Every structure is written in structure tokens, then in C-alpha cells.
Amino acid sequence: MSPRIRGLIYFVGFLAFAAIFCGLVPFLLMPSIGAGVALPVIEVPGEVVQEDLLPGFNLTNSIIGTLVTDFLLILIVFVLWRLSRGWTKEVPGRLQGMFEAFVSGFRSFSSNIGGERLRTTPMLWPLVATIFLFLLTANYMKLFPGAETVGKMHCAYEGQSGYSMIPGWTDSSYRLWVDESLNAGSSQTAETYDLCNYYFKYGEFSRFPVESVEEIEPQVEAAQQAVTDAERELADRTAALAGVLESLDADESNWSDADRDSVNEAEAAVLEGTDDLARAERALERQQIRLEAAQQIPALEAELEEVTSQINLLDDSAVRSELDRQEDLVDEPRYAAAGFTLAAAEGVADAVALAQERGATSGDDLSEVLSDLRSERSELEEELNFQRTQMQFPTATLTFTESQLETDAVPFIFHITPFVRGPATDLSLTIALAIFSIVVVQIYGVMALGPAYFEKFVNLTAIGNVGKRPLGVIDFIVGLIEIISEIGKIVSLAFRLFGNLFAGGVALMAVTFLLAMLVPGVIYGLELIIGAVQALVFAVLTLVFSVQAMEAHHEHPDHEEHDEEHHDGDEQATSRLHSDASLT
Amino acid sequence: MEGDISVGLKAIGAGLAMLAAIGPGIGIGLLAQGAMQAIGRNPDAGGQIQTNMILAIVFTEAIAIYALVVALLIVFVL
């Protein structure tokens, strides 16, 4: 077989694979089992996984991602420490050799930029290397399967869109149920959120069967009785609590432990009573909704049938042509004068009568009447589906069709929040890291130059010399602009990292939801490159700013005082140039 | 959501924000041009030139990323 034929077979095979797994499976097969392609969740701030973990502190998924990154980094370092026997092993094994090559490569790259200062300044190299390794681990951890995808299902928060839920493939597991591809889901409002929470709060997991009015009425009565009982019980318990409080001293500090216990018991009883009452009231409400649904469904079904039969009757080209014929004939004056009533053609007499009843005199009017009827029918269908859903799930927030009601799906709006999210996709981490870097740069500047470092911003020397050099005022203003430049550095560092990673994550999610197979691999490759490059750039920029800060800022060449430092800087630069030239 | 004008306006805003990607596009092209010419003149220095080019491209790309962030903010947050 020639290579060309083989290539053709591979190519056709690949196209078939793509057609099946990017087309058929996600858009035809999966919706039928309720696992259709939904739309991804994209939120700029970190999503809250657990509210109020500590008072006033919400646990977001980017914090969890940061903790995972920290753990991974410490694990890697620990493993290498063991492999190299406490950094002492002279002949490295494979893993140790790989890591040594990696670190020494980064070190030589940094010394090209940092020069001597990398060795002499305390904690500069560890800082730069840590930033690089942390961001590298963070960006690659984000790409691991499971990050930003596996999450916790909950009632969608207000404003979020979500889908209905179905019991999953194991006991007590659930999954989102999407039976339409690229369905944007339904948006949750405040009241539907409360209703969804009641579903969990009151444990209303079982669905009601379809029952008639006669079967539901006794249930309503029973629920009303339960409410009355609960009210009475609560009144009793409240009275008991009042009695207990009365029998004790007015001053709380005089109570004995037994007294306190009895008060707590009575209070707990009252709370339980209130809760029971709420439950009973809610059960009553639900039965009443079911009763209403049961009362309305038969009427709706009858109406729907009538409208459907009307539509079927009228939706006939024979009716249309008959109407047109009648319209044409009616306009002829001699017929009108003669007072003939036109008999409709056989078979369409009823339809024509109905159409004329509804005010249709021509074929076009008939189309209008038909479209009116059709919209009426869809409204009725909607209402009927709503009532049917309410019958089985009182206070449901979604409306299910009959086929949907046959499945196990639950008609409230649910949402999945991923557990782990890449740390650098959260603006909080990138801004914090950027502020940290720039503050450290200022510290290095002060360490190297003393308080004279701040002459970079507030150029007092230029003002002092304003007698000799009036144009020094410009230098002073330039110094003030440097302050803005520092803030600009913070913003650019933060947003460069955030933008690259967040956009990469969004692109990955969007492509994965649209073309499930193979194409996300391309985006993955891009993410691998971008993750490494952005980590490198952040670390290298920190190094560059530190080195710049530690070098004395160059004054106007006329000044003799600064000639020495000027020469030092030149020497360093030229020596580096010479060493570079000698390498090539 | 059909007929909701705010969604349409947001889409227009995001599209306009991404027009800003023209600048970095031209900038990166100029960078690459300089790098190609330098490598052409001195093929042995190719590695160094490439490294510095990539570094410079990353900074230029950042401006386009700022525009992308604004577009994403407009669509998803506002």
C-alpha cells in the first residue's frame, strides 16, 4: 500500500472520528441521556465554595487552588530533597539532574539580567526563583484534569443561570440534567433561589404522584389539621416557656444550673415548635398548590384539545381555496343583489363556517386566524405543563414537559461551582503578588542606596540646585511622574498575568464546550507555553525592577558628584558586552 | 433575553474594546521583522536574538491582553 493511500485512510478515519465525537456524540447522543452540552460558567472573581468558613471569610475556589499549588510545590521540593539526600548527592540521578538543569538554566538566564547583584543581594535570587516556580506550578496545576471542572452542586445563586438536576449514577450523587445542547439554562431570581433551598431544607425529595381532585382534597384537609395541631403545640410550648420564666427570679444571675437547663429546654422546645409549624404550613401550601393544579388540569386539557382540533380543521388548503373563492364571488355585485347565500363546497363547510365565525374572509385572514390559534395553543400547552409540573413538584421553579416529567429530573435551578481554580486566574492573587513585588523592589532600593533611593521620586537635589540649574525643576516633576510609573508597574504586572491566564482558561472552556474532542488539545498546547512564559516574565520583571532600583539613577552628565557611579554602571555594562561578544 | 438591548450594546462594547488589538499586532510584526533581519545578518546569534524577541513579544502582547480583559469584563461582569 502506497503511503498516499495509507495517508488517505488515516485522514478519512480522522475526519470520521471528529465527526462522531465532535458532532454526533455531544449534540445528538448525549442530550438524549440528559448530558447535553451546557454553557460554561465564567466568573471573574473567585467563586465561593463555602460561605463563612471563618466569620466574615468566604472560601473561594482560587484560594483552594493556591493551597493545592503550595502543597504541590512543597511536595516537589521534599521529593527532590530526599532524592538528592539532603542536597548532598554529587552524582545526580535522572530526576535530580533534570531539576538541576532546569534551575541552572534559569539561574544563568537571570544572571544575564541581574549580573553581580544576583549573588551579592540577600534573598534576591530566592525571591525571583520562588515567584517563578510558584507561578509555573500554579499555571500547570490549572491544566490538570479536574481543576476548574469538578465541583460542588448547589442551588444557583441569584443571577446565575443553571439547569435541572437528576440523580446520578451512584446513590446520593446528582448531576446536572441538560437535554438540549448549548442550552443557556434558566436564570435564578431571588425567590426561585429561596424555593430551591426549601427543597433541601425541608427534605422534600420525593415527588407526588398524579392524583385527581378527590384524592387530593383529603390530603389538604389532613395538612390543615396538621397546621392547626402545630399551632396549638407551639402555643402550649410558648406558654410553658413563659411559665418557666415566671417561676424564676427576675435577675438572671440568681438562677441555678438546673434553672438554666430548664429554661434552655423550654426555649429549644419553642424553637422546635416554630420549625414544626413552618414545616406544616409549607406542607399545607404545597397540597393547596396541588389541589389547584388538579382542578385546572382537566379544564386546560379540554381547552387544548378543542384548540388543536380547530387548528387541524382549518389547516387545510381546501379551506383556504374555498374561502378565496367565496371572497371573489361575494364581491361580484350581481350575486349580492340577488341575495344568494353561497353554499360551501362539500367537506369544508364546517371549517369555512368556523373560519368566518372568527372573522376570516380570505386566505390571508385564514393564515392570521391559524397563527392566533397556534399561539393560543402554545400558551395553553405551557400552562398545562406548568400545572402538571406543580402537581408532582409543588413550588417547582422550572416547567417540565411530559417527557421530562417521566425522567427523574428535579425542576429547580442548580449550578456547579468548581472546587479548584487556577490561582493566577483570580485578580486577587495577581494584584497581591504584584504589590508584593513592587514593595520588595522599593525595599531593595533602600537597602542598596539608603534613604537617597527616594530621590528617584522626590528629587530634592534638583530643587536644591535650582539656583545653579533652574531647569532642575523638570527633573523634579519627572521624579513625581515616576511615582505614577511605579503604580503602573503594579497594574501591568497584575493584569498581564491575570489577562493571559484568565483568557486562556475561558478560551479552553469555550472550545471544550463547543468541540469536545481534539481541538481543545491545541488550546492546551497554547496554555502550556503561555503558562510558562508568563511565570518567567513575572519573575524576570521583578528581577529587572530590583536591579534598576539598586542602581543609582543617572543624573545629568554635567554633575561631577555622580561621575563615579556613572562610570561604575558603564563598566558593568561594557564588561557584560565584552563577555557576550567573547561567547559568539 | 430576546430583544434585550443591553445585551446587544454589551456585545458592541466588547467588539470595540478588541479593536485595540491592532496596536500590539503591528508591534509584534515589527519586532519579528527586526529579529528576522538580525538573524539573517548573524545566524550564529540566532538563539540569543530569539530569546530577547520572545521577551519583547510578551510585553507587547500584554497590551492586547489588557484589551481582552476589558472586553471580558464588559461581557461577563457588567
The pLDDT value recorded for residue A432 is: 96
Burial class of residue A531 (count of CB atoms within 10 Å of its CB; 0-12, 13-18, 19+): buried
Which of B51, B65, B77 has its CB closest to that of A499?
B65
Which span out of A333-337, A346-350, A423-427, A469-473 was modeled with the highest average pLDDT? A423-427
Sketch the domain layout of chain A as residue ranges. 59-143+421-575, 213-392
The residue type of A342 is L
The pLDDT value recorded for residue A434 is: 96
More confident residue, B55 or A474: A474
% of chain B beyond a pLDDT of 90: 46
More confident residue, A384 or A256: A384
The pLDDT value recorded for residue A565 is: 43
Average pLDDT over residues A439-447: 93
Mean of all residue pLDDT scores within chain A: 82
- Global pTM reads 0.76
The pLDDT value recorded for residue B2 is: 58
Query: pLDDT tens for residues A306-331?
Result: 888 888 877 777 777 777 777 777 66
Cβ proximity of A285 and A223 under 8 Å: no
Which span out of A248-257, A422-431, A511-520 was modeled with the highest average pLDDT? A422-431
More confident residue, A103 or A574: A103
The radius of gyration of chain A from alpha carbons, rounded to an integer in Å, stands at 38
Cβ–Cβ below 8 Å for B62 and A503: no
Sketch the domain layout of chain B as residue ranges. 5-76
Residues of B with Cβ-Cβ distance to A499 under 8 angstroms: 62, 65-66, 68-69
Q: How far is A81 from chain B (nearest CA, A)?
A: 31
Is the pLDDT reported for residue A338 higher than 70? no
How far apart, in whole angstroms, are the C-alpha atoms of residue A125 and residue A131? 10
Query: pLDDT tens for residues A42-91?
Result: 777 878 887 777 888 888 889 999 999 999 999 999 999 998 888 888 88
How far apart, in whole angstroms, are the C-alpha atoms of residue A308 and residue A299? 14
The pLDDT value recorded for residue A336 is: 58
What's the start-to-end Cα distance of chain B, in Å? Answer: 15
Query: pLDDT tens for residues A356-376?
Result: 777 777 777 778 888 888 888
Q: Which residue of B has its CA nearest to A502?
A: B69
Which of B45, B59, B65 has its CB closest to that of A503?
B65
Q: Does A503 touch chain B (CB under 8 A)?
A: yes
Average pLDDT over residues B72-77: 82
The conformation of residue A183, written as its DSSP 8-state character, comes to: B
The pLDDT value recorded for residue A335 is: 62
Residues 94-123 of A with CB under 8 A from B: 109
What's the start-to-end Cα distance of chain A, in Å? Answer: 50
A505-529 burial string, b = 16+ CB within 10 Å, else e?
Answer: bbebbebbbbbbeeebeebeeebee
- For an interface test with A, give the residue of B6, B39, B52, B65 to mutate (most A CBs within 10 A): B65
The pLDDT value recorded for residue A17 is: 86
% of chain A beyond a pLDDT of 90: 20
Q: Find, among A541, A560, A451, the residue nearest to A490 by Cα.
A: A541
Is the pLDDT reported for residue A566 higher than 70? no
Q: What is the DSSP string of A257-268?
A: HHHHHHHHHHHH
CATH of domain B5-76: 1.20.20.10
Query: pLDDT tens for residues B6-39?
Result: 888 999 999 999 999 999 999 999 999 999 999 9
Among the ranges given (A54-63, A166-175, A454-463), the one the predictor scored with the smallest mean pLDDT: A166-175
Average pLDDT over residues A531-556: 84
Cβ proximity of A270 and A237 under 8 Å: yes
The pLDDT value recorded for residue A40 is: 74
Is the pLDDT reported for residue A571 higher than 70? no
Q: Does A43 touch chain B (CB under 8 A)?
A: yes
Is the pLDDT reported for residue A501 higher than 90? yes
Cβ–Cβ below 8 Å for A499 and B66: yes
Q: Is residue A135 very low, low, confident or very high in pLDDT (cuts 50, 70, 90)?
A: very high
H or E segment to which residue A118 belongs: helix A117-120
